[in-house]
Structures are given as C-alpha cells and as structure tokens.
Structure 1
Amino acid sequence: MRIGELSRQTGASPRAIRYYEQTGLLQSERQSNGYREFDDTAIQTVTTIRTLFELGFPSELVSRVLPCTGEAGPIAGECGALMRRVIEIRDEMDEKARRLDATRDQLTQFLETANRR
C-alpha cells in the first residue's frame, strides 16, 4: 500500500510515516516511480509506534520495544529486560492514574461541600 492509504488506515500523517521510516522504525520498498510501498504489517507497526509515542516513550525506547511487539514475537534475549522496563513504566502510569483519581475525588468532594454552604 502507498503512504496515503497507510495514513488513512492508521490516522498517522504522511509526514509522521516518513519520519518513522527515516528513523528506521518502519520499512518500505521504493517502486521504480519513487513511491513508497508498505506491506500489510505496516498498519500494525504504525499503530504500535503511535501508541508508544502517545504514552511518552522516547524514539530510542520505541526502536528497542518495537521488535518485541511484532507478529514474529519477542526476539530471544533482547526483550526480557526491556519488557520488564515497559512493565515498570506501565505500573508507574497506573500509580499516577490512581493519584489523579484520588485528587479528582477530593476536588469533587470539595466542590460539593462548597456548593452546600
């Protein structure tokens, strides 16, 4: 598929897709006319890249995590420590979410109390 179709299917801009390719996160084949051609696995790859960036992962970590998320499964020896770090990041996010929930609940309680006065 061409970059426009990949963009439509993933919601990533063509510029972002070109960036992913420039940084080695995504591969394409160049056709004789110069167009990029992406295989069907590019949809999942771009979706994963976008998710990791949205979670705040830096490019360097995305490039290390990405091979552990593909259809081929984790690369032996490479993913164990990395996945433990991702688990730590997830757990840190859970803790932040719990703290935000508690803060929201306290603010709600404060507002309810203030409105009764």
Structure 2
Amino acid sequence: MRIGELAKRSLVPIRMLRYYEERGLLSPGRGANGYRDYRESDVTRAVLVSSLIRSGLPTRLIIPLLQDEPPGQPPATLDESPGAVDESLEGLFAAELARLDSKIACMNLSRTAVRKHLDRLRAPIPG
C-alpha cells in the first residue's frame, strides 16, 4: 500500500510516517517507481509507534522495543558492547516505566476528580 493509504488507515499523518521511517521505526519497501510500499503489518506498527510516542516514550527506546533480536544483542542504533547496551537499556526502560506509572497515577486522580464533578453536574436539582 502507498503512504497515503497507510496514513488513512493508521490515522497517522504522512509527515509522521516519513519521520518514523527516518528513525528506523518503519521500513517500507520501494516500488520500481521509487514509491514507498507498505505491508499490511505496517498499519498495526504505525498505530503502536504513534501510541508509544504520544505516551512520551522517546524513539531511542521504541527502536529496541520493536526489534525482534534476542536479549544480549545490541540494537543497530547503539554503538556499545552488548553488556553495556543491556544495562543502559535496562536503566532507561526502568526509568521510563516509573515515569509512566507516575503519569498513570496522576491521570487516574484527574479522571476521578472530573468524574465526580460531572456526576454533580448531572445530579438532579432538589426541589
């Protein structure tokens, strides 16, 4: 499929899809005419990448998440020894998990406050 169709189906703007490709998050084939040629699986991948980015995950952490390499193999984008890569990635992912947990707790608190206020607004007025 072409980039316009992928954008429509994934709800990710064409500009962002090109950025994902630049960062190595999407790897479309190329047709004889030079146009990008996306697979069906790229729809799911583009949606996932978009969601991870919207949650605040940096692309440097998304790349190893998407790679199919076994643990101990350094991602192609990191130039360190395998042991150092595993330790540094572990620390980065642990910090990111803590950040996401904190953000989720904050959002749950906000959701509860908004829900209570909405319930008060919807409550029948006595009398």
TM-score where L is the length of structure 2: 0.64
Change (3 A) 1:49 1:105: closer
Identity score, percent: 26
The structure 2 residue matched to 1:94, chosen from 101, 104, 118, is: 104
Q: Which runs of 5+ in 2 are unaligned?
A: 73-85, 122-127
Summarize the alignment of residues 1-117 of structure 1 with structure 2, pairs less than 5 Å apart. Answer: 1-67=1-67, 75-77=70-72, 81=90, 84-101=94-111, 104=114, 108=117
Instruction: Point out the more displaced range, 29-38 or 97-106.
Output: 97-106
**Is the contact between residue 2 and residue 35 of structure 1 (CA under 8 Å) also seen in structure 2?**
yes
Instruction: Point out the more displaced range, 23-32 or 82-91.
Output: 82-91
Q: How far did residue 93 of structure 1 move?
A: 2.0
Q: How far did residue 21 of structure 1 move?
A: 0.5
**Is the contact between residue 29 and residue 37 of structure 1 (CA under 8 Å) also seen in structure 2?**
yes
Q: Measure the CA separation in 2 of the matches of 1:2 and 1:36.
A: 6
Please list every run of at least 4 consecutive aligned residues from structure 1 whose deviation after the TM superposition is greater than 6 angstroms: none
**Is the contact between residue 2 and residue 37 of structure 2 (CA under 8 Å) also seen in structure 1?**
yes
Give me the CA root mean square deviation. Answer: 3.0
**Is the contact between residue 57 and residue 96 of structure 2 (CA under 8 Å) also seen in structure 1?**
no
